[in-house]
């Protein structure tokens, strides 16, 4: 009887221990799913915050990109066009300088032509050379000269946005130098602005070879 009681006690304790272990396992097993759901909920929360940040930042990004696209699509091509036209303008002024330095005089008129704000007359050994500003162009012509070549009789520079002003300096009624002022006009956001402005003074013939640039 004593042995049976002792054996029964041991069996009861083992059974109780087994039940306790099972309970712990069940509790741990039941606790896992809520932890996983909590992690998932946290991930969803971070994603929502990221979306809100993106929505807040996007307008500023669009403003920056809009300015960049305007620069790439509008301002850069316009600046390139201004640079090209300025190169053409400088080529014309260089030819004008060469003609004036070889000039024997700067007459006020020749035949039916008269020197004015749009017409410049240059007397040279080969004859008379005229420079005319008309319809966004500068036109150089050889008006007289037995040695002139028909292919070189006229030369045209396209200057649609350039403004060229020349003034003949005179002494004792005779012209001895030509002052030129030129610039390119560029429309920037509805306002016309002067670009590549320059001023030169060219002396005719014996009055000097080197131009004075200001």
Rounded Cα distance between 103 and 127, Å, is 10
Residue pLDDT, tens place only, 129-160: 999 999 999 999 998 754 444 445 689 999 99
DSSP run (H or E) holding 68: helix 2-70
Of these ranges, 43-52, 116-125, 137-146, the one predicted with the greatest mean pLDDT is 116-125
196 vs 20, residue with greater confidence = 196
| pTM higher than the cut 0.75 | no
Residue 185 has what pLDDT?
92
8 Å CB contact between 160 and 85: yes
**DSSP strand pairing (162-171 vs 174-188):** antiparallel
* Percent of the chain residues topping a pLDDT of 90: 42
Residues 6+ apart with CB under 8 A from 105: 123, 174, 175, 204, 205
> What average pLDDT score do residues 173-192 get?
90
Structure confidence by residue, pLDDT tens digits, 55-109:
888 787 777 777 666 666 666 677 788 899 999 999 999 999 999 999 999 999 9
Residue among 18, 180, 7 nearest 99 (CA): 180
pLDDT at 191: 84
């Amino acid at each position: 009887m004593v042995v049976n009681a002792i054996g029964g006690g041991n069996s009861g304790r083992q059974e109780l221990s087994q039940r306790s272990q099972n309970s712990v396992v069940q509790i741990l097993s039941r606790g896992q799913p809520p932890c996983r759901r909590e992690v998932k909920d946290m991930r969803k929360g971070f994603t929502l915050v990221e979306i809100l940040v993106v929505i807040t930042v996007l307008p500023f990004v669009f403003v920056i990109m809009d300015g960049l696209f305007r620069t790439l699509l509008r301002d850069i091509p316009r600046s390139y066009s201004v640079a090209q036209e300025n190169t053409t303008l400088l080529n014309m002024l260089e030819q004008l300088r060469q003609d004036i330095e070889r000039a024997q005089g700067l007459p006020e008129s020749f035949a039916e032509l008269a020197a004015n704000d749009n017409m410049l007359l240059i007397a040279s050994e080969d004859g008379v050379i005229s420079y005319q500003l008309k319809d966004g162009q500068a036109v150089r012509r050889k008006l007289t000269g037995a040695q002139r070549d028909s292919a070189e009789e006229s030369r045209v520079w396209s200057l649609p946005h350039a403004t060229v002003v020349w003034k003949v300096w005179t002494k004792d009624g005779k012209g001895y130098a030509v002052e030129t002022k030129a610039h390119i006009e560029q429309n920037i956001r509805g306002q016309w602005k002067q670009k590549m402005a320059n001023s030169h003074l060219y002396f005719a013939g014996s009055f000097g070879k080197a131009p004075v640039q200001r």
